[in-house]
Amino acid sequence: MRATVLHGRGDVRIENVPDARLIEPSDALVAVTRACICGSDLWPYQLMEPVETARRMGHEAIGVVEALGADVRTLKVGDVVVMPFAYSDGTCVFCQEGLHTSCVRGGFFGTVEVAGAQAEAVRVPQADGTLVALPVGADDALMPSLLTLSDVMGTGHHAARAAKVGRGKTVAVIGDGAVGLCGVVAARRLGAEQIIILGRHPDRLALAKAFGATDVVSERGEEAVARVRALTGGFGVHSVLECVGTDQAMRTAIGVVRPGGAVGRVGVPHYEAIPASEPAFYNNVTVGGGPAPVRAYIQELLPDVLEGRIEPGRVFDRVISLDQVPDGYRAMNERQAIKVMVKTSSR
Ligand SMILES: [Zn+2]
């Protein structure tokens, strides 16, 4: 089968690899119909040393169940399923607490252990706990929004939860990538009154406004902090969704949050220590977040997608075939596309 393999910085290829197959009795084999390229895929795309082992990329997918291990109980061949970016058993102590990304039998797709989903097919461990069957056909018009439930919409929602967004709250969203834009959707959905998006790309900011952002701040650093404070009576916002992961983004987050407020961080951190710990301490700021347990959120968000109350699938502004994946990485890396959907031809 064909799959996406990252060999080093800027060197992503579509290659023929051994077919995905069942290994454990709890596995499902899923023929991928839709996958996508994630902002977090761009970190290894930009940084990976060529000496490292080649990586099979992709952690977001919708597909059709092709085969099931003997222990799988809740799925059947032919089910259309959405795959969260982490697999989980759904039964361990952390899954029961809704923190599926810490599952004791869990892990992540696109790693050395489990191959990625930017491929014709993917092996899904812990299929009963991981996959969610969708009540739609494989070519349903809602596919883009349903696909965001495998990562970016759940991640934006997690940022909003960690930042304690609620009715009437003021919110800042740092980052205008797909996760930040979904963070706007999530904040609006949870009843935020004012949503300030911090970003610099006109097309993305226009979409943020369509999703419910009330204000746009395109400055950076201290100027951005001053602008957000000016927009909030000098106090700052209750909730900050930090959707970037850099030292500067976290500094800005702590700079714009009001005393007693919360920062939800979902950008993979590319800093050693959380910066600005002194103002965070003196202002009683909560800093939370991490990899989103998107599996826990699918049940909550799915009805809103199916009934059209939210349309996070609008973050996809380019659709490509599997063979075009290297171009897709380039387009996202050069900020020519917000988020790229990969439509695979099923086998
Ligand atoms: Zn678990």
The CA radius of gyration of the chain, in Å to the nearest whole number, is: 20
Q: How far is the CA of 13 from the centre of ligand 1 (A)?
A: 33
CB 316 within 8 A of CB 10: no
Residue linked to tokens 């996809």:
316
Cross-strand pairs, 265: 242, 289
Residue 347: what pLDDT? 47
Q: How far is the CA of 93 from the centre of ligand 1 (A)?
A: 6
Spatial distance between the Cα atoms of 206 and 61, rounded to a whole number of angstroms: 27
Q: How far is the CA of 125 from the centre of ligand 1 (A)?
A: 12
Numbers of helices and strands, H then E, in the chain? 12, 18
SS (H, E, C) 38-73: CHHHHHHHHHCCCCCCCEECCCCEEEEEEEECCCCC
Q: Distance from CA of residue 36 to its chain's centroid?
A: 10
CB 173 within 8 A of CB 242: no
* b (16+ CB within 10 A) / e for 49-60: eeeeebbbbbbb
Spatial distance between the Cα atoms of 160 and 55, rounded to a whole number of angstroms: 31
Q: How far is the CA of 158 from the centre of ligand 1 (A)?
A: 18
| Cα angle value 194/196/200 (rounded, 5°) | 160
Q: How far is the CA of 142 from the centre of ligand 1 (A)?
A: 29
Write the CB contacts of 201 (distance below 8 Å, at least 6 apart in sequence). Answer: 176, 335
User: What are the Cα distances from residue 290, in Å, to 1, 23, 155?
Assistant: 33, 30, 9
Q: How far is the CA of 282 from the centre of ligand 1 (A)?
A: 37
Q: How far is the CA of 335 from the centre of ligand 1 (A)?
A: 36
Tens of pLDDT along the chain (347 residues) come to 999 999 999 999 999 999 999 999 999 999 999 999 999 899 899 988 776 788 999 999 999 999 999 999 999 999 999 999 999 999 999 999 999 999 999 999 999 889 999 999 999 999 999 999 999 998 899 999 999 999 999 999 999 999 999 999 999 999 999 999 999 999 999 999 999 999 999 999 999 999 999 999 999 999 999 999 999 999 999 999 999 999 999 999 999 999 999 999 998 898 989 999 999 999 999 999 999 999 999 999 999 999 999 999 999 999 999 999 999 999 999 999 999 999 997 54
Q: How far is the CA of 30 from the centre of ligand 1 (A)?
A: 21
